[in-house]
Amino acid sequence: MKNINKNSLIIFGYSEILTLALVVNSKIDKVKEFNIIEDDNEDKFFKIVSNFLSNKASFGSILYSCGPGGFTIIRRIISYVKALKFNKYSGTKFIGLNNLFIMACYLNLKSKINDNIYILSILNYSKDHFVQIYQKKKNFLFFLKCLSDIKTIDLDHIGTYLETLSLSIQNVHSVYLGANPNTVSFFKNIHIVDRSNILEIIINLSDLIENNKISKTNYRNLLEEKFDPLYGKSPSTNLHV
């Protein structure tokens, strides 16, 4: 009898902590988290992730973080999914996740913001703050217009950077993921999220993909079936970052 289960594998990370989740029929079947620094060896990394999977596991889609975030974790995630793609899961959909986009989608879902509102995603890792700006265009969770490249900006300079885009910190909704959320307490309309919030959105996305409720046209600019890491750049302004 054909297995009708719709399985997705989620590999999410931006810091030293990697989250693995197996989703079966739109529900979490099992989750594992581990610190890649404690097992600071790529062979151990591959072994831990492989042990999480059943040898007989099949997936309709594999969703994985491709940045921004820490160099080591993003590099290892992409190396691993490349191995999966070419060695065992050539017929599976591989969906690379922009962490900043997923954060913006969470804010869009939970805050019920109006169309045309601007969203500033801020992801903190170590001393870096990665930012990207979106605008809601339709009443759909995953339809956000990207207005900027990924930038690495000091928090004190974000207001000035927004001004280069004719925006103000006062008229955007901001979402923050990372350590020391008190550093963004001066932002208006700031929303703090954690790893579980991001996992929730990725599960929603996997459900839409598995049930063919979202087309590549809707996510191709932000979620791509390729294996390129996403990094931040300093803005091309007179800011000293």
- Name the domain boundary from 154, 177, 193: 193
Query: Is 201 found in the same domain as 135?
Result: no
pLDDT score recorded for residue 109: 85
d(Cα 155, Cα 144) in Å, to the nearest integer? 23
The reported pLDDT for the residue numbered 9 is: 95
User: Is residue 134 located within the same domain as residue 82?
Assistant: no
**Whole-number CA gyration radius for the chain:** 18
Model pLDDT, residue 237 = 44
**Do 88 and 31 belong to one domain?**
yes
Low-confidence ranges of the chain (pLDDT < 70): 1-5, 39, 55-56, 139-141, 215-225, 234-241
Is residue 48 domain-resident? yes
**Cβ-contact 102, 202 below 8 angstroms:** yes
Q: Which domain holds residue 123?
A: 99-193
Distances (CA, A) of 222 to 22, 107, 150, 210, 226: 23, 16, 12, 18, 11
- Give the Å distances, CA to CA, from 164 to 18, 132, 171, 233: 35, 13, 14, 16
189 and 104 assigned to the same domain: yes
The number of distinct structural domains making up the chain is 2
Residue 218: inside a domain = yes
103 and 72 in a common domain? no
Q: Does some domain include residue 207? A: yes
Beta-bridge partner residues of 118: 135, 172
CATH number of 89's domain: 3.30.420.40
Q: What pLDDT sits at residue 238?
A: 41
The pLDDT tens digits of the residues spanning 141-158 come to 677 888 999 999 999 999
Q: Are residues 108 and 163 in the same domain?
A: yes
pLDDT of 1 reads 35
Tokens describing residue 144:
């956000």
The pTM of the full predicted model, rounded to 2 decimals, is 0.90
Whether 200 contacts 110, CB under 8 Å: no
